[in-house]
Structures are given as structure tokens and as C-alpha cells.
Amino acid sequence: MAPLKKKGDLAELKVAADLADRGCALSFPYGEDCDYDLIADYEGILHRVQVKYTESDGVVIGVRCRSHSLTNGGVRRAKCYTAKTVDWIAVYDRTTDCCYYVPSRVLGTGRAQLHLRLVPTRNGQRIGIRNAADYTTPDLTLNPPIHPR
């Protein structure tokens, strides 16, 4: 198995275990063509979850909000996740051994990446900073599946 596949599988297992501990029933889509990796059912509310693996530097967690695929004989295509395709991006950080949940409303119409800070900035900046601690507990009672099509 390819190293990237192993990392992705580990992240999916860690996120699935974390969501199960939070009381979610889990479903996994068949095949590799879905924009999400799992569906978390919390009290009848379904959440489409895209899972990402990362290894932070202990200061900042980089969250990839896109995927790359090869199409038509090797042409690389980038796809950014939005509220139309997922409800959450769940990130498993190997460094902190923790799962972080970024709601799709943060993604806007698509962005390549965002950052979650594990420690305060050295210059004291607060505006525009996303503290990782604010993303450790997903609000599963929200009903995000109002999916614009």
C-alpha cells in the first residue's frame, strides 16, 4: 500500500473513532468518487465529512481544502471543497494525535488551504487567526445539510 494511502486510511480511522465516541453512527460511501470520506449520523442529522491527514510543526496545522486527481491520461485537476460538497473537513494531526473539525461555512466558495494555530502568534496578532482549540469539538446538533444545489 502506498504511504499516502496508509496516512489517509489512518486519518479516516482516527476521525471515525472520534465521531463514534461522540455518539455518531457512521456510514462509508462505496468507491472513490465521492467528495466525502464518511457520513456521520448524529441523532438523525447527516454530516458529509471529508477527512485529511497532516503532521503539524507543533505551531500551525495546515489544512488542505482541496484534492488533486489525474484525469485524461495524466492531466492534474484540483478540486476545492465547498458547502455544496461537504459539511466538514476533519483533519487528523499526527503530531498532536488529535482530530480537528472545520465546518464548510469557513470554506466559502472554495479555498486551497487554511491554517489552525496551536500556539499564539509571536507578534500577538489575533485578527484573522483560527485557534486550533476552537475546532476540536464539532457542533453536530447544527443541521448543516441544507445543501444548495
pLDDT of residue 28: 95
pLDDT-derived band at 31, boundaries 50, 70, 90:
confident
Q: Tell me the CATH number for domain 3-135.
A: 3.40.1350.10
pLDDT of residue 75: 56
**Number of helices followed by number of strands (H, E) in the chain:** 1, 9
Average pLDDT over residues 33-49: 92
Share of the chain above pLDDT 70, in %: 87
SS3 15: helix
pLDDT-derived band at 16, boundaries 50, 70, 90:
very high
pLDDT tops 70 at residue 143: no
Quote the DSSP letter at residue 107: G
